[in-house]
Structure 1
Amino acid sequence: MNGLQRLIAKLGTTKAFAGVGQALTRVDERLLRRTNGRFGVGSSIGLRTLLLTSTGRRSGQPRQVPLLYVERDGAFIVIGSNWGGENHPAWSANLIDQPQATATVRGRTLPVHARLLTGDERQTTWDAVAAYWPAYNTYATRAANREIRVFRLEVSPA
């Protein structure tokens, strides 16, 4: 991480940043949509961000959300932290209900299949992602009443 990324990661552990981050999510979604996943708020400082499009479990409509990700063994790892809030984010429930989705990353929209990680695989993956964005450990402490969901997005064959 460069100096700016370290500063943002440190700020990311604060509750105030979580509030700001939730507001920036809408801006990030618009930027990622307009640039086909090439540019967003996070990517402007060198953080890896994708635009996940899942199917709303109640509405059946496409739902988009920008997410930080880590690439691991050819897949995208995303975390349902909800900034450490007490509830799981809606997109994570959508993926559990309908694991077929798309990830728009670096100018490409890819079909993906989401798999919720559990046990040792979840913990090993969590550790790798938290090394990239340490604020996730703070979010886990804040969300003490739930285990934060960790998903592996496998790119589906075309």
Structure 2
Amino acid sequence: MADADAAAIRAEVGDWTRQHLNTYLRSGGAEGHVVDISSVGGHAMTTHCLIRCAGRKSGTPRVTPLIYGNVAGEIVIVASKGGADDHPQWYLNILDSETIDVQIATQAFEATWREPVDDERHSVWSYMTHLYPPYLAYQSSTTRHIPIVMLKTVRAIDVFRAHGEP
């Protein structure tokens, strides 16, 4: 793919992601939790969460919307970055944190995180590719092993707010 084409795709996805995040934040989670992403290979009723973690260099809190699943009471997110050869920044940021914040619809929590290994990882990966089939193509397009992160909620916190809101 030409660099200009790739840049155009990244810009379009970035715009959609920003709009999705703003909708989720402005509504306090009443909107943006379930989104139709069938036009990009997903399902009509795909669940999304928000994660918030501090930038490892800046310390500034960053909020990211992500597809999620639930396995045995743990929230599962995938660090796919669309099959890019490098990890997403949010994943690198959580590697430096013991806990992160997660919001699902209108409820938010502090959560610990872990990465499943071996048979558990295989099982969770299979589940997540059923929820969002493009993960299979993403993994095929890169040599990196796409990380899976499992979150266990610790305590309830206030829902996330849009920048500048109290």
TM-score bracket, normalised by the shorter chain, equals: 0.7 to 0.9
2: CA distance, partners of 1:40 / 1:124:
27
Is 1:156 the counterpart of 2:154? The answer is yes
Unaligned 5+ segments in structure 1 are 1-14
Relative to the length of structure 2, the TM-score reads 0.78
Larger-Rg structure: 2
Residue 156 of structure 1 aligns to a residue whose secondary structure is strand
The residue identity in structure 2 corresponding to 1:125 is: V
The residue identity in structure 2 corresponding to 1:148 is: I
2: CA distance, partners of 1:153 / 1:133:
18
The residue identity in structure 1 corresponding to 2:128 is: V
Contact 1:80 1:149 in 2 (8 A): yes
> What's the CA shift for 1:43?
2.2
Q: CA 1:103–1:85 in structure 2 vs 1: closer, same or farther (change >3 Å)?
A: same
Q: Once the two structures are aligned, what percentage of the paired residues are identical?
A: 25
Q: Which moved more, 1:105-114 or 1:36-45?
A: 36-45
Superposed counterparts of 1:72-91, under 5 Å: 72-91=71-90
Superposed counterparts of 1:119-158, under 5 Å: 119-143=118-142, 145-158=143-156
Is 1:29 the counterpart of 2:21? The answer is yes
Residue 13 of structure 2 aligns to a residue whose secondary structure is helix
Q: Which runs of 4+ in 1 moved over 6 A?
A: none
Paired positions, count = 143
The residue identity in structure 1 corresponding to 2:22 is: R
> What's the CA shift for 1:22?
3.5
The residue identity in structure 2 corresponding to 1:35 is: S
More helix by share: 1
Residue 152 of structure 1 aligns to a residue whose secondary structure is strand
1: CA distance, partners of 2:145 / 2:27:
33
Unaligned 5+ segments in structure 2 are 1-5, 37-43, 157-166
2: CA distance, partners of 1:98 / 1:58:
12
Q: Which moved more, 1:115-124 or 1:104-113?
A: 115-124
